[in-house]
Amino acid sequence: MKNISLNFFGEKVTINMPTTLESLRKEISDKFMFNPADAAEVVISYVKDLGKKLIQTEQDFANFISNKIGKLDLDISQTSRLYKENFNTLKKESEENKKLLTECLLKDAELKKKKEETLKEEMNKIEELDKKIQKLLHKKAKLEKKMKLNKKTIEIEQKENSQKIKVLQKKLGINSPKSSKKKPSPKKIVLKNANPAKPKNIPEVHPFSTCDGCKMFPIIGKRYKCKTFPDLDFCEKCFLNKTNTHGLKLEAVDTEKIIKEVLLKASSNRINKEGKFIHRMISCEGCGMNPIIGERFKCTVCQKFDYCKSCHELYGHSHGHHFDVIKP
């Protein structure tokens, strides 16, 4: 048998068969990079007849060779310097890890406590807000009920008042004025159809406003806005009635003026500092300018094909189609 296998905690190395125990320990020192003193303390053993045999003397090693087993197990003695140094290092690391674990557990406990306290505070705040919301909802329900009763009372009073007026008119012999509209002559009708006049004034519609008096939605006609409370809006009927607007300072909303201001603002946002118009969402097919600023030249044939002024001068003739100048 020429070779034997050395097993040191799962690390296996094959070496030529040594002749003596001393040469074996030298091989162990070379292969596993031990000091000669540490290699001398390595425990060498092999298995025979299901039993473990130690090699401590030259005779023990000679018996191993004669058995032709070919495999040796290496171990570190607990009395060796190598074991003691590693054990002390591991012990020190273990103590440091225990200390670090204790600190982490304490910090984790503090964080859990802080989290619970924060959660408790937030829950208390939520409960307080819920109480306030319930109070406000209760108050709102009361006001809505009161408003319905007031509306019903006003309607009853109006009905009774109209009946009284009719009775008094009957007693005094006063008849309600009848409308005396004259029917247009056929000639006028023909003229009217031949030259149609301008349509009558269409009442304004405020699609996003609700009357806080009669709940008209949307408000049709004139809209009156409160100067003190900007969220309050009233229709013309509630403004004239003044039952639901008592004590409020109202002013008529000029819709035309608001539209002009919005359009002016929108157009001003499309003019740069140099006074040039910005064609948003449109890029130049020549130089890639996006958006095109200044004059824009749009192809009358190709869809979504535009040039800036510079590219039109360079490539406009070679394109082969007519371009329209788009100015603000």
In this predicted model, what pLDDT tens digit does every residue of 194-222 receive, in sequence order? Answer: 344 445 567 788 888 899 889 898 888 88
Can you give the three-state secondary structure of 264-279, one letter per residue? HHHHHCCECCCCCEEE
The structure tokens listed for 20 are 């003596």
Band of pLDDT at residue 191, cut at 50, 70 and 90: very low
Neighbouring residues of 205: CB distance < 8 A, sequence distance ≥ 6: 218, 219, 220
Backbone angle region of 217, left / alpha / beta, with phi > 0 → left and psi within -120 to 50 → alpha: beta
Same fold, 203-269 and 272-326: yes
pLDDT at residue 40 greater than cutoff 50:
yes
Share of the chain above pLDDT 70, in %: 87
For domain 203-269, give its CATH number from 3.30.60.90, 3.30.70.1400, 1.10.580.10, 3.30.1950.10.
3.30.60.90
Band of pLDDT at residue 172, cut at 50, 70 and 90: confident
- Count of Cβ atoms closer than 10 Å to residue 206 Cβ: 19
| CATH number for the segment(s) 272-326 | 3.30.60
Tell me the domain boundaries of the chain.
3-77, 81-171, 203-269, 272-326
SS3 content of the chain, % helix, strand, coil (to 5): 50, 20, 35
The predicted-structure confidence for 133-161, as pLDDT tens digits, reads as follows 999 998 999 898 888 888 888 989 888 88
Query: Which pLDDT belongs to residue 188?
Result: 41
pLDDT at residue 282 greater than cutoff 70:
yes
pLDDT at residue 99 greater than cutoff 50:
yes
Tell me yes or no: is domain 3-77 CATH 3.10.20.90: yes
CA distance 327 to 292: 11
